[in-house]
C-alpha cells in the first residue's frame, strides 16, 4: 500500500467517526422526541432560542462588560448583553444581574469566590438530604476550600429543620449560609434561617438552579425578598433557556456588585459562550410573555402526577404536604441503598421514559439509591396537561408494578408523545416543533 492509499484509508476511517457522531446525535434526538423526558434538570428550548444558539456568536469572544471590552467587534453583543441584564433584573426583581455564567455550578463557584475566602466556614444542605454536589466538599465548596457544616434535616417536611438549622448557624457563625437543593419539593423556610445568618454576619446565598423558572413565574418563593443577598441558578431547568447560569442580587451596593461581576469575569469565565448568553436573552424575553403561565402549569402538572402515582400504588414522598410544590416528584422503590431506584430507571428507559435514580433521605450510596427524582417541566413545555399526567402515571405502573413487557409500553408511550410535538410558551409557537429532527 502506498502513502496515498494509506491516507485514503485513514480519511475513510475519520469519516466513519463523523458519521458515528452524527448518528448518535440523531438517535439521542429521537429518544426524547418519541419518549418522555422526565429528568428534573433538563428542558428544551424554543425555536427562536435554538436559532440563536446555532448562530455565528458561538465562536466569538466579548470579555468584560457592555461598553468595556478587551476585543473589537463587540458592539452588537453589547446590545444583547445590556438588554439581557435589564430583562433579568425585571424577571427576577433584582437590582443586579450577571448573565455570563456558563452553568449553575459556575454561578456557584463565582458566588463563593465573591462571598468567602479559603478556610471560611459555610453551612449548606447535605447531598444526602438533597443538596447539590456543588454545595459539598466534592464540588464548588471544596474547590474554594471552605469548611462545611450541613443543616439538620426534617425528613417529613423535606426541608431543613428550622430551629436546629438556626442553632447550627449561630454556633458555626459561617461566612456564607447557603440554601437551596437539587432535590427540591417545597420552598425553603428562608426568612427564619436568613435572620439567624444575619445575626452572625453571614451572607445568605440561595441556589435556585432547579426552581428558577418557578421563582421567576411567581409560583414558588421569592428569595431576594426573603433574606437572600445573592441568588444563583441555571438557565436550562425550569427556566427554559439554553445551558448556562445566572447571578442575581437584591443589593444596591456598587462595591458588592462590582465584586460579583469580577467573580464571573475574570474570576471563573474567560469566554462565556456568547451564543448561550444571547439565547438566555431571547428566553428572558419569551418568559416575560409566557413565564407565569408556564410556571403555574408546571407546578399543577407535578401535583397531578404525584397524586396519580400515589393512586397507582407508588410510594410518593411528602404525602402529608401534598407531595410537591415544585416541578419535582420523588418516589421510593425499595429498601435504602438497595439499588431499586437504579433498576426502576433502567426499566423505564426501556419503555421510552427517561428519568434518573436519586438518593432519598436515609440512602448513603449514590449509585445504588432507593428512589427516583422525576420532573414534569419538559412535558409541560410541549403541552402535557393534568389529564395526560394520569396516562403517564399508568405507564409507570405498567412498567414497575405490573412488570409488563417494556416494548409494549414503549409503543403506547410513543403514541402519546407523537401527539405532543409542538413547543409552547414561546414566540410564534404555532407550528414550531419542540424537537429538532
CATH number, domain of 72, equals 3.40.640.10
Co-location of 156 and 180 in the same domain: yes
Q: Say if residue 102 is in the same domain as residue 244.
A: yes
Same domain assignment for residues 309 and 209: no
Task: Tell me if 185 is assigned to some domain.
Answer: yes
How distant, in Å, are the alpha carbons of 43, 213, 239 from that of 292? Answer: 17, 9, 11
Are 266 and 366 part of one and the same domain? no
Considering the domain architecture, whether residues 55 and 195 belong to the same structural domain is answered as yes
Give the C-alpha separation, 207 to 193, whole Å: 15
- The answer on 113 and 61 residing in a single domain is yes
**CATH code, 405:** 3.90.1150.10
**pTM score, two decimals?**
0.94
pLDDT tens figures, 127-182: 989 999 999 988 899 989 999 999 999 999 999 999 999 999 999 999 999 999 99
125 belongs to a structural domain = yes
Cα 349 from chain centre: 21
User: Is residue 273 domain-shared with residue 321, that is, in the same domain?
Assistant: no
Task: Tell whether 1 is covered by a domain.
Answer: no
Which helix H or strand E contains 408, and what residues bound it?
A: helix 406-417
User: Is residue 248 domain-shared with residue 362, that is, in the same domain?
Assistant: no
Q: State the DSSP H helix or E strand holding residue 206, giving kind and residue range, or none if neither.
A: strand 203-207
Sort strands 159-160 and 245-249 into parallel, antiparallel or unpaired: unpaired
Q: What's the mean pLDDT in 367-383?
A: 97
Q: Is there a domain that residue 427 lies in?
A: no
Q: Quote the cell numbers at residue 212.
A: 428558577
pLDDT tier, 1 (very low <50, low <70, confident <90, very high otherwise): low
- Does residue 195 sit in the same domain as residue 322? no
pLDDT tens digits, one per residue of 256-297: 999 999 999 999 998 899 999 999 999 999 999 999 999 999
End-to-end alpha carbon distance in the chain: 41
- Total domains present in the chain: 2
Co-location of 228 and 314 in the same domain = no
From 256, 284, 312, the end of a domain falls on 284
- Tell me what pLDDT residue 104 has: 95
Q: pLDDT at position 54, please?
A: 95
Q: Same domain for 248 and 128?
A: yes
The answer as to whether 32 is a domain residue is no
Residue-range definition of the domain harbouring residue 324? 37-44+290-417
- pLDDT at site 9: 67
Residue ending a domain, choose from 236, 268, 284: 284
What are the C-alpha distances in Å from 430 to residues 337, 361, 422? 46, 43, 7
Question: Is residue 424 a part of any domain in this protein?
Answer: no
Residue 431 domain-assigned (yes or no): no
pLDDT in tens, 74-95: 999 999 999 999 999 999 999 9
pLDDT, tens only, 95-130: 999 999 999 999 999 999 999 999 999 999 999 899
**Given 284, 309, 343, which residue is the final one in a domain?**
284
Residue 17 domain-assigned (yes or no)? no
The confidence band for 65, taking pLDDT boundaries of 50, 70 and 90, is very high
User: Does residue 179 sit in the same domain as residue 93?
Assistant: yes
Amino acid at each position: 500500500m502506498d502513502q496515498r492509499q494509506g491516507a485514503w484509508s485513514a480519511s475513510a476511517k475519520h469519516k466513519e467517526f463523523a458519521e458515528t457522531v452524527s448518528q448518535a446525535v440523531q438517535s439521542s434526538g429521537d429518544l426524547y422526541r418519541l419518549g418522555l423526558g422526565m429528568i428534573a434538570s433538563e428542558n428544551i428550548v424554543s425555536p427562536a432560542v435554538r436559532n440563536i444558539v446555532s448562530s455565528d456568536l458561538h465562536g466569538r469572544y466579548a470579555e468584560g462588560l457592555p461598553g468595556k471590552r478587551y476585543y473589537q467587534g463587540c458592539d452588537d453583543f453589547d446590545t444583547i448583553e445590556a438588554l439581557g441584564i435589564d430583562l433579568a433584573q425585571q424577571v427576577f426583581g433584582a437590582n443586579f444581574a450577571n448573565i455570563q455564567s456558563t452553568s449553575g455550578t459556575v454561578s456557584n463557584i463565582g458566588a463563593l469566590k465573591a462571598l468567602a475566602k479559603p478556610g471560611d466556614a459555610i453551612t449548606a444542605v447535605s447531598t444526602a438530604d438533597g443538596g447539590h454536589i456543588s454545595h459539598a466538599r466534592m464540588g464548588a465548596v471544596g474547590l474554594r476550600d471552605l469548611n462545611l457544616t450541613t443543616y439538620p434535616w426534617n425528613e417529613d417536611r423535606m426541608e431543613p429543620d428550622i430551629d436546629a438549622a438556626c442553632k447550627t448557624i449561630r454556633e458555626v457563625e459561617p461566612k456564607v449560609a447557603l440554601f437551596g437543593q437539587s432535590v427540591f419539593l417545597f420552598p425553603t423556610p428562608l426568612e427564619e434561617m436568613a435572620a439567624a445568618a444575619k445575626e452572625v454576619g453571614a451572607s445568605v446565598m440561595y441556589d435556585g438552579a432547579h426552581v428558577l423558572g418557578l421563582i421567576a413565574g411567581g409560583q414558588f418563593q421569592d428569595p431576594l425578598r426573603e433574606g437572600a443577598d445573592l441568588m444563583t441558578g441555571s438557565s436550562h431547568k425550569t427556566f427554559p433557556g439554553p445551558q448556562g447560569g445566572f447571578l442575581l442580587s437584591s443589593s444596591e451596593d456598587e462595591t458588592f456588585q462590582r465584586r460579583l461581576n469580577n467573580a464571573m469575569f475574570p474570576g471563573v469565565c474567560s469566554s462565556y459562550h456568547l451564543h448561550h448568553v444571547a439565547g438566555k436573552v431571547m428566553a428572558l424575553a419569551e418568559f416575560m410573555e409566557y413565564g407565569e403561565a408556564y410556571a403555574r402549569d408546571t407546578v399543577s402538572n407535578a401535583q397531578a402526577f404525584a397524586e396519580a402515582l400515589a393512586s397507582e400504588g407508588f410510594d410518593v414522598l411528602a404525602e402529608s404536604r401534598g407531595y410537591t410544590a415544585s416541578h419535582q416528584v420523588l418516589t421510593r422503590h425499595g429498601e435504602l441503598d438497595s439499588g431499586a431506584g437504579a433498576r426502576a430507571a433502567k426499566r423505564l428507559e426501556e419503555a421510552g421514559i427517561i428519568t434518573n435514580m436519586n438518593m432519598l433521605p436515609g440512602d448513603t450510596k449514590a449509585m445504588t439509591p432507593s428512589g427516583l427524582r422525576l420532573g414534569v417541566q419538559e412535558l409541560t413545555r410541549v403541552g402535557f396537561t393534568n389529564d395526560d399526567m394520569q396516562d403517564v402515571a399508568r405507564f409507570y405502573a405498567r412498567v414497575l408494578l405490573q412488570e409488563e413487557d417494556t416494548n409494549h409500553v414503549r409503543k403506547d408511550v410513543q403514541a402519546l408523545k407523537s401527539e405532543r410535538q409542538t413547543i409552547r410558551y414561546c414566540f410564534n409557537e404555532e407550528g414550531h416543533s419542540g424537537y429538532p429532527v
